[in-house]
Structures are given as structure tokens and as C-alpha cells.
Amino acid sequence: MILLNASEWTRVATGILYVLLAPLFGGLLAGVDRRITARMQGRKGPPILQPFYDVLKLLEKRRVSVNKLQNFFIVLFLVFLVFTGTLFFSGGDLLLFIFAFTLAAIFFISAAYAANSPYSSIGAERELLQMMAYEPMVLLTAVGFYMANGSFKVSDLVVAPRPAILLIPMIFLGFCYVLTFKFRKSPFDLSTSHHGHQEIVKGITTEFSGASLAWIEIAHWYESTFLIALIALFFVWSNPLSIALGIGVALLVYFLEILVDNTFARVKWQLAIRSAWIVAGVFGFLNLLALTLMRGGK
């Protein structure tokens, strides 16, 4: 029988709470997003709970798919996103977190390719381009956390003697920049968007309907939840009150993402990749170089 100490039980409980509550938080976040977007566009907007109504309606519809393989990949996409968030909230390793996060995206792309549709294939290709754009900055973020507090483990980072933002502020700005890709917002919503104002044919999710599309939406709710938590991690340290600070800053960043989404038009994929790599090179590497020089001077 494996005995767990109090700290380990806390991490297990936190992971379980993420599995149960992340869809609720993510769905509410999507509802608030729609309402704020509507107000910015001079509309009243749907109810806050509209995303839940949409998903329930999709679950009731008949599933129409080209082949069973695409549905299998969607299930894996959802499973690995749940695993990624659970790993993060249970205090796991950031490198393993990034690996699982990337693998989930690959399953999503594979599902689009399996549909054998020109529209979904183009969406999948654009999704691959987005991955090429944001992955370098995500990896540099993990390295930055390690150099700031000497560990890749989330459980160690949340009890660090100082918040990571004090040592890696440029990495934080770079990470916020590439979050526009992950939240699927303009100007970097290349493959699809959570709003219907971009295009009639909805990119990578064109060939999905019914329950499959519902699982994709739920997966995005899980994704949004742990991305918000990852933003908050920059501001969390051993002081318990820092958790509230981190959540407040994370929600402010999300509001700024909504503002950017409603301010800028979509750019071409060449500019998206070029700008993301420039940000990773300037903000990421310069911040790591500064940390290295600080360590070398001691």
C-alpha cells in the first residue's frame, strides 16, 4: 500500500478538482468572452451560459463523421488536454506538461487530416504553422521558470521565495504574445476561431459536428483553464495571498486578449510566424541571457 503525505494528497486533490471544475470555469470564461466581445461590437450579446447550452445541444445531435479514426483522434485530443492540466495542477514537471500539451495538439491536427476534406486539411496545415510559431516561446518559458527558481516542478515553483515575474518579466511578455495563438484570437486565429466573424467555413473544425464538436469545445475549456493558471504561475510564490494576485493578473491578460481580438484583423501566416519568432528571440533569449549574466556575477 502506497502512503501519501499531506502535501502529496493536496496535489492529488487539486488534480481531481481540475478535472471536475475546469469545464465549468472554461465554459464561463467562454461565455464572458462572448459577452464582452458583443459589447465591444455594440451588441447585447448572448447569455453567459450560452456555451453550455451550445454544447448540450451538440451532444443531442447525431454524430456525422467521415470515418471512425477522426473521432478516435478527438477523444485522444480531449484526454491529453485533461492529462496536461491535471499534471500542471498536481504540481508536475513543466517539460512533461509541454510534451503532453504538444501531443494533444498533434492529435487534433491528425483528426482534421483524417477527415480527408480540403477545408479541414487547410485548417490542419494552418494549425501546424501556429505550432511552429508559438512552441519556441513556450519552451523558453519553461526554461525561464527553471532559471528563475531552480526547478521545472510546479509544486516547487508555487512555494518559491520570490515570484518568477521579478526575474523573467520579458519572458512573461513574450508568453502573453503567443497566447493569442493558443486562445485562437485575432490577429493570429489562422486555423479557426471561437467566434463566427472570421469565415463561413470554420477551418480545422469544418468536418466535425454533433458530439465530436462538443468534445472539441470542452477540450478548449480545459485548455483555457490551465493556460490561465500558467499565466498566474508567474506571480505565485510562497505567500498564499499571491494566488489571488496571480488569478487577477491572469484574468486581466485574458481581457487584453479579448481587446486585441476585437481590434486587429487577421494577419498572414508568414507575418504570424516571423513576429512570434522575433518575440521569442528578443524577449526570451535576452531575458535568459540577463539571468545567466546575473548568475555568473555572483
Q: What percentage of the chain carries pLDDT values higher than 70?
A: 93
238-255 average pLDDT score:
95
The pLDDT of residue 196 is 57
93: helix, coil or strand? strand
The pLDDT of residue 21 is 94
Q: With a cut of 70, say whether residue 201 has pLDDT above it.
A: no
14-37 average pLDDT score:
93
Q: How far is CA 33 from CA 148, 161, 257, in A?
A: 33, 34, 10
What would the pLDDT profile of 116-171 be if each residue is shown by its tens digit? 888 888 889 999 999 999 999 999 999 999 999 889 999 999 999 999 999 999 99
The pLDDT of residue 129 is 92
What would the pLDDT profile of 85-94 be if each residue is shown by its tens digit? 999 999 999 9
The pLDDT of residue 175 is 96
224-247 average pLDDT score:
94
Q: With a cut of 90, say whether residue 230 has pLDDT above it.
A: yes
Q: How far is CA 40 from CA 36, 43, 52, 194, 255, in A?
A: 6, 7, 22, 16, 12
Q: Are 181 and 276 in contact (CB under 8 A)?
A: yes
Q: With a cut of 50, say whether residue 1 has pLDDT above it.
A: no
The pLDDT of residue 9 is 74
Q: With a cut of 90, say whether residue 207 has pLDDT above it.
A: no
